[in-house]
Chains A and B, each alone.
Chain A
Amino acid sequence: MSAETTPAAAAVSDVSLYDVDNPAPLIEAPRKRTKKTPKATRTNFELYGWLFMRLSGILLVVLVLGHLLIQLVLDGGVSKIGFAFVAGRWASPFWQAWDLLMLWLAMLHGANGLRTVINDYAERDTTRFWLKMLLYTATVFTVLLGTLVIFTFDPNIR
């Protein structure tokens, strides 16, 4: 590989490919109005997304830390965690609601965060599109599966 490229590179430095009449191509400027330029959006989606991140973040701090504190420290879950312990928890509608809320908030919060990360870091439109599709699929799958388990949990499963 290197043996092939070395003479070519030397040739380039000897005879320039570019001159006054034939300049090197420039990178296309951003925000140039082309056919591919996305149209301006007139929705409040980003506003609600931004607000949701703040509010769900605050709620999640309480929910997650509260969950850890109550389950593991106050109720001694550290030493007796097991199928029976979880089954006992989900017999109570309070913990069902708590875990459901935590699941939905955490998944949507994380998915929205990853969506912004993909928007910020994916360089090509196709990469961006497929990464987001993968993210949405994973999110919907996890949320639905988690919800299903919380509501249809059977402690007598064999």
Chain B
Amino acid sequence: MATPTLEKVDSAAQEASPYITVVFRIRRFNPEVSAEATWQDFAVEIDPKERVLDGLHKIKWDQDGSLTFRRSCAHGICGSDAMRINGKNRLACKTLIKDINPSKPITVEPIKGLTVLKDLVVDMEPFFQAYRDVMPFLITKGNEPTRERLQSAEDRERFDDTTKCILCAACTSSCPVFWNDGQYFGPAAIVNAHRFIFDSRDEAGEQRLEILNDKDGVWRCRTTFNCTDACPRGIEVTKAIQEVKRALITRRF
């Protein structure tokens, strides 16, 4: 910007400032202070085209350093920052301020159904326990081939949708059945079992189906579609669960 235009820009810039004031209403919990979780409001000057994660950063860096949340890559790949934003499970790094009505306070809570450790950080161990229980790794019999295990494009397409899971727990912690007693495997574990059950190279599909035939397995799914709505990767989670159910039924009869 050259000097002569400065005055004009100055008046225009004030009107066209992209920044708006957004109130973040954050569920705070600190076991070292109180056993109760409380709501705390933070007013943040932010461009509505920025993301909720940027707002949380501004709060942590400029206003209250004690605000605790997980984030790693900040670009929707690592799955660390799943949280309940305006009552829906989303990734803070993929949710734009302008998309969630910034004229009202934006509520940010930890995901439900898992123990809150501090502020927005939950204990993910039960979630990963369910994930480990379905054996999310390739299992084969016989000798290892000298070359790669070939697979046709159609066979790969069969489970393509469920390979996209980033284990953010947005689906599992949106599931009302999981909220109750947490014994249900949860959508994420079933999605990752689906990824191997329908993999033509894998030979332990029967074993995984047997695990998911448990009383806390796929049959506890009530097809409420919360998981499909919550998935930040757009995986058709409920469809995957139904496919596992169908596979169980067709193998038995």
Contacts and interface: CB of A to CB of B under 8 A. Distances in A.
Given A29-B114, A30-B183, A42-B210, A47 B248 contact: yes
Contact of B219 (A27, A42, A49): A49
Interface in A91-117: 116
Interface string A1-29: 00000000000000011111001111111
**Majority SS of interface residues in chain A?**
loop
Contacts of A123: 180-181
Interface stretch (B39-47, B125-133, B137-145, B159-167): B125-133
A88 to B, nearest CB: 41
Given A25-B35, A29-B115, A31-B182, A47 B129 contact: no
B31 A23 contact: yes
B177 to A, nearest CB: 6
Contacts of A30: 113-114, 126, 178, 181-183
Size category, A interface: 20 to 34
A51 B245 CA distance: 10
A104 B176 CA distance: 30
Contact of A41 (B34, B182, B214): B214
Nearest to A31: B126
Contacts of A32: 125-126, 129
B197 to A, nearest CB: 15
B153 to A, nearest CB: 33
A83 to B, nearest CB: 42
Contact of A47 (B123, B182, B252): B252
Nearest to B124: A29
A38 B214 CA distance: 11
Contacts of A42: 210
Contact of A120 (B31, B34, B180): B180
Contact of A28 (B33, B115, B116, B210): B115
Interface string B185-228: 00000000000000000000000001101111101101000000
A45 interface: yes
Given A29-B182, A30-B113, A30-B126, A41 B32 contact: no
Contacts of A33: 129
A50 B249 CA distance: 10
B78 interface: no
A121 B177 CA distance: 8
Contacts of B117: 26
A119 interface: yes
B183 A38 contact: yes
Chain A CB within 10 A, most for which of B125, B181, B216: B181
B217 A46 contact: yes
Given A44-B252, A120-B222, 6 more contacts: A29-B182, A30-B113, A41-B214, A41-B215, A47-B213, A50-B245
Interface of A: 16-20, 23-33, 38, 40-42, 44-47, 49-51, 116, 119-121, 123
